Amino acid sequence: MEFLRPVSLGEALEMKAARPEAVPIAGGTDVMVELNFDHRRPAALLDLTRVAELAEWSRDDSVVTFGAALPYTRLINELGTDLPGLAIASRTVGSPQIRNRGTVGGNLGAASPAGDTHPVLLASDAVVEVASARGTRSIPASEFYLGVKRNALEPDELITSIRLPKATGPQQFAKVGTRNAMVIAVCSFAISLHPNESRAGAAIGSAAPTPRRVRQAEDFLTEVLDWESPQALPDSAKRRFGELVASAAEPIDDVRGSAAYRKHALAVLARRALGWAWDAYREGERSCA
């Protein structure tokens, strides 16, 4: 096995072009488990932790762009205010030690249906920036997940950064698991309110072959939410929203939970998360008025 240590993005892309079979390693929190247990014996590892560009971030008035190899702990501390939904999801990943190393780029690279950042990226209209020696591409999160642990990357491509709008309204993420730390989601749900566009984004995780947006449920919110003079939402609307979210799921029975439980739990998570987000929006509007 070879260990490739690029120190710039250009060098990393050249190495990946020459050795497309090289496995990128950022935080290593997925890759090293596979190596330690002999589940994978790649011909080469491509270490991304020395590529400074991949751990930087920038922002302007409306958009935040952060490097694929920025660890969760830094994301939470440095970008949590602009990206509250992603910060909430990041705080639920593993443990402090895992968050000190793990990255959103790694979450995307692994493309597990249970990855915690995916629902937030979908609900918040994130774009995944990828690059190869051939050039760059911008892939909307909604086109990035192709199947169980399959994503839209070509063999010579690396994820360079994730770009998403600064939150313009409340965002929530919720997941079900057996404890508060170190839990792979049984199912998860994210909602981002976009008051500037009078709509909300919502997505589910660990409840279908890929993380997915729940468009029907989003459309329902467009119908029922009054952004100008926000009223308390009737329970019936929250429940209907929960049902629509659950109906978009195609979960499986596995050791973590049954399909029926996942659907039920998703409806509950969605109803609650909508309530939290909408109440926060109403609160914000009232204090602005």
Partner 1 sequence: MRVNITVNGEARQVDDVWPGESLLYVLRERLGLPGSKNACEQGECGSCTVYMDGTPVCACLVAAGQAEGREVRTVEGLASGDTLDRVQQAFVDAGAVQCGFCTPGLVVAAHDLLTRTPQPSDPEIREALAGNLCRCTGYEKILDAVRMAARS
Ligand X SMILES: Cc1cc2nc3c(=O)[nH]c(=O)nc-3n(C[C@H](O)[C@H](O)[C@H](O)COP(=O)(O)OP(=O)(O)OC[C@H]3O[C@@H](n4cnc5c(N)ncnc54)[C@H](O)[C@@H]3O)c2cc1C
Q: Report the alpha-carbon distance of residue 272 to residue 266 in Å, rounded.
A: 10
For ligand X, give the closer residue by CB, 30 or 218. 30
Which of ligand X, partner 1, none sits in contact with 141, Cβ below 5 to 8 A by type? none
Distance CA 195, CA 257 (A): 35
Position 257 contacts ligand X (CB under 6 A): no
Binding partner of residue 47 among partner 1, ligand X, none, CB cut-off 5 to 8 Å per kind:
partner 1
Q: Of the candidates 6, 84, 85, 106, which one interacts with ligand X according to CB under 6 A?
A: 106
Question: Of 75, 121, 139, 159, which lies in the binding site for ligand X, with binding defined by CB under 6 A?
Answer: 159
115-154 burial code (b ≥16 CB/10 A, e <16): bbbbbbbbbbbbbbbbbbeeeebebebbebbeeeeebbbe
* Binds ligand X (CB under 6 A): choice among 13, 15, 28, 269: 28
Q: Which of 47, 82, 156, 157 binds partner 1 (CB under 8 A)?
A: 47
Q: Which amino acid is at 54?
A: L
CA–CA separation, 155 vs 10, rounded Å?
16
Nearer to partner 1, 28 or 84 (CB): 28
The amino acid at residue 164 is L
From 196, 184, 187, select the one nearest 102 (Cα to Cα): 184
Least distance from partner 1 to the Cβ atom of residue 279, Å: 24
Looking at the DSSP assignment, which residues form a beta bridge with residue 138? 129
Tell me which residue of 94, 97, 103, 47 sits closest to 71, measured CA to CA. 103
Task: Decide: is 110 part of the binding site for partner 1 (CB under 8 A).
Answer: no
**Residue 97's binding partner, choosing from ligand X, partner 1, none, with beta-carbon cut-off 5 to 8 A by kind?**
partner 1
Q: Binding partner of residue 9 among partner 1, ligand X, none, CB under 5 to 8 Å per kind? A: none
Q: Does 255 bind partner 1 (CB under 8 A)?
A: no
Say whether residue 96 binds partner 1 (CB under 8 A). yes
Site for ligand X, residues 68 to 97, rule: CB under 6 A: 68-69, 92-94
Instruction: Say how many C-beta atoms besides its own lie within 10 A of residue 198's C-beta.
Output: 13
Distance of CA 30 to the CA centre of its chain: 16
Kindly report the length of the chain. 289
Q: Which of 109, 113, 165, 242 binds ligand X (CB under 6 A)?
A: 109
If one asks whether residue 181 binds partner 1 (CB under 8 A), the answer comes out as yes
Q: Considering only 37-45, 76-84, 111-119, 212-220, which stretch makes contact with partner 1 by CB under 8 A?
A: 37-45
Helices (H), 102-228: 104-110, 117-123, 215-224
Q: Which residues bind ligand X (CB under 6 A)?
A: 23-31, 33, 48, 68-69, 92-94, 98, 101-103, 105-107, 109-110, 115-116, 153, 158-159, 182-184
